[in-house]
Structures are given as structure tokens and as C-alpha cells.
Amino acid sequence: MNTNNQLYVAPTDIPGALDALQVLAASDILAFDIEFDREQYTYGFTLCLLQLASPEIVVLIDPFVDNLLPPFMQLLRQSKAIKLAHSAGEDIRLLHALGVFPEQFEDTEIYARWLNLENTSLSALLQTYCGVALDKDQQRSNWTKRPLSEKQLAYAQQDVVHLFGLRSKLREALEGKGLLQLAEEDIAVQAQWRYDETPAYPFVKPADYSRYSPYDLHVFNGMMGLRDALAQKLNRPLHFVAPEKLMKEAVLEANDLSLLWQDRAVHAATKKPANMAAWQKRLTALHEEAKERLLSKQLLGNGRIKGMSFAELRSYEKDIFGPIQKALEQRFGTFTARYILSNRIVSSIIKGETSLEGLHHPLKLQLIQKEASDLQIDITPWL
């Protein structure tokens, strides 16, 4: 099954996995990947399989086996080895939620971002730089189900075994372009990020923070919390209990929960008389709480865009950030420039949803400030 000359340890081989732990611990470079389920088959964010590899061995660790996962998580937490992964944002978010903060972490996708590549997926990079065709057919399969299929196990191995060779190829290409130091600085910045698992409104998507008032956010967050509690009790994905779009319509637009009870997309458990009464009581209480706290019904946002027309917003995008984006394109190429300062980020900055410093990326900020300074463009109001 493993075509990369590495020793393979299956998730059913528990003694073999524990023996392999010593081999992994002795390595100065590791690759990892996580297969997880996030509101697809079960409630919550569930770690379903941990893949760990050194250049000599690849190990698949089943977290559903009692007491098998902790020593490998401890390895990720304490080892001083370089730890490779690709496009690992969600994997790192899950590890952080579990109290694991890998040191010496490198994301091979970040290397690729500085090479001005349109497609930085693992399959595209492996095909281009390593001549390896990666079959992603099992990516969205059910990883909560046991036993895992042979196709799933083969897929899980391939996500880590080639990362060592890919890293070498990408670093070689960056060095040839004089961009390796920038890529390394970027990796170092992102390795220090810590995902915030205790936001102000834990049951509301951050993207909605600027779309609703503090009053509405308080009410909606409370009702979404009820949905979360029922989903957890049923061990079902959140959308099985009640789709988010329908929750917004019922709670924020119509203030009428009967829209939920009448919709076939809402889980039967939600419609039980006891739950219906509890949800209605909670909705009334949330409105009372919002009034008592004097929460504003005005949208959250930045004062610098008050009263600003759409045309004025577009002029800022064109006259302030357009030349900076063009200068970045000339220096780094179209796709790397978009990585540094995308249209989406510009739009969020202009609308007051974030700021340049709010990106929490000093390297990108430094590059943007340099181009602005060279162009004699004042971006101070947007910092």
C-alpha cells in the first residue's frame, strides 16, 4: 500500500504504533495530517484519524482506541522536530482546541503561496513538483465509521508521505527566486498564531459580526446556543437540527419561531412540545436581556465609513489600495500579490470590518506599507 519505501503501521496495529512512537520521537522532521468530521456526520469537530510520518515510517493513529492517542499528541506538543503539514488551518485549529500547540510548524502551502502559483492544493503541487498523482476521492468520506476502508487508509498515508520531498522542491524553487527568506518569515509568523476558541458570540460566525447589531447578535447567539445543545444531545450535525439560514429567518427577520416548527428541514426533536416551549421562552428572555443591557440596534462597524456611499467606498478601493495591489503584482506576480492583499481583505478594510493591523500579519503589513510609502499613499487611516 505504501509506495514511498516507508514502513507502514496500520491503525489496527496498536503494539506496532507504540513501537513506532520511538522512531518518530528520534526524527528531526515529521509530517502530520488529520482526518476529521466537522458537522457532516456527527455533532461538533471530531478528530477521526491522526497521520504521523518521518522519512522512515508512517503511522496511522486511531483516536477511538482507548489510550492510544495521548502519547502521539504529546509528541506533537513537545518534540522540537520540524512538523510539516499542508493547508493545515483546520488541523491546527482542532489541535489548539485540544491543547496541542506544535512548535517548529511549517505549512507547505505557505511555501507555495510565494511561488506565484494559481493552484496551491496538495494534489496540484505533488503533480507539478514530484510527479505524483494524488487521488482525493476519499477526502470527504465518513471518517467516523469503523472499520476504515482500504481506500481510506491508502488515502490517509498519501497525505503525509510525500510532504518531505515536496518541502525540499518548494524550498529549492524559492531559493532560486530569492524568496526563501520571505517564505520562512511568513511561516514563522503563522506558526505563532493561536486560534481563539472563546469569541464574544461563540455560536455566531465571525463573518456575521458586522452584519448584525449587538442587540441582534445577543439574541441570535442565544438561540443558536439552544440549537447547539440539542445537536450535541442528539450527536447530529447542527444543520440536521435546524438550518442556519432558517434560524436567521425565524429569529432575526420574522421573530417568529413557528417558521421552524412548520419546516420539514427541522429535526423532529426540535418540534417536541417541551422544546418548542423552551425555545419560545428563551427567545422572549433574550429580547428582555438585550433591552436591559441597552444593547444597540445599530450595526457594528467603523466610524470612518459612516454615511459613505457605495461609490465612495469603491473609489477608496480603486485610488488607495488599487495602486498598492498593482505594485505588489509587479514585484511578486498576480497570485502572490492576492495572497498578500486580496480584494476580499481590501473590501473588509474599507467597510470597517477589519484593519490592516487587524490582519495580525506583520510581514504582509510591512510589504504593504513599503509599497504605499514608495507610491506616497497614506494608509494611516486604515491601520
Angle between helices 180-191 and 362-374 (to 10 degrees): 130
pLDDT of 244 = 95
pLDDT of 302 = 45
In angstroms, how far is CA 302 from the centroid of its own chain? 25
Residues 6+ apart with CB under 8 A from 354: 345, 348
Residues 6+ apart with CB under 8 A from 229: none
CA distances from 207 to 75, 201, 210, 212, 352 (A): 35, 11, 7, 10, 13
Q: Span 206-292: which CATH code?
A: 1.10.150
pLDDT of 102 = 93
Query: Do 241 and 231 touch, CB atoms closer than 8 A?
Result: yes
d(CA 373, CA 365): 12
Query: Do 356 and 382 touch, CB atoms closer than 8 A?
Result: yes
d(CA 91, CA 105): 12
pLDDT over 90 (residue 80): yes
Torsion of CA 87, 73, 194, 107, to 10 degrees: -20
Least confident of 10-19, 126-135, 307-316, 374-383: 307-316
Q: Beta strands 57-61 and 7-9: pairing type? A: parallel
**Residue 297 carries which side chain, given as an amino acid letter?**
K
Confidence band for 304, pLDDT divided at 50, 70 and 90: very low
pLDDT of 110 = 97
pLDDT of 73 = 95
Residue 13 has, within 13 A of its CA and on its CB side, a CA count of 13
Residue-wise pLDDT for 314-369, tens only, equals 777 778 899 999 999 999 999 999 999 999 888 888 877 778 887 788 999 999 99
Residue 87 exposed, middle or buried by CB count within 10 Å (0-12, 13-18, 19+): middle
> What would the grid cell of residue 373 be?
510609502
Query: Do 122 and 167 touch, CB atoms closer than 8 A?
Result: no
Helices (runs of H) and strands (runs of E) counted in the chain: 18, 6
Write down the architecture of domain 7-191 according to CATH. 2-Layer Sandwich (3.30)
> What is the pTM assigned to this prediction?
0.83
pLDDT of 3 = 45
Report the length, in residues, of the chain: 383
Domain limits, the chain: 7-191, 206-292, 303-382
pLDDT of 207 = 78
Confidence band for 232, pLDDT divided at 50, 70 and 90: very high
Query: Do 113 and 175 touch, CB atoms closer than 8 A?
Result: no
Confidence band for 4, pLDDT divided at 50, 70 and 90: low
Residue 167 has, within 13 A of its CA and on its CB side, a CA count of 21
Residue with more model confidence, 345 or 120? 120
Confidence band for 306, pLDDT divided at 50, 70 and 90: very low
Q: Once rounded to an integer, what is the mean pLDDT over residues 94-114?
A: 94
Residue-wise pLDDT for 193-211, tens only, equals 887 667 778 899 877 887 8
CB atoms within 10 A of CB 247: 23
pLDDT of 308 = 57
pLDDT over 80 (residue 143): yes
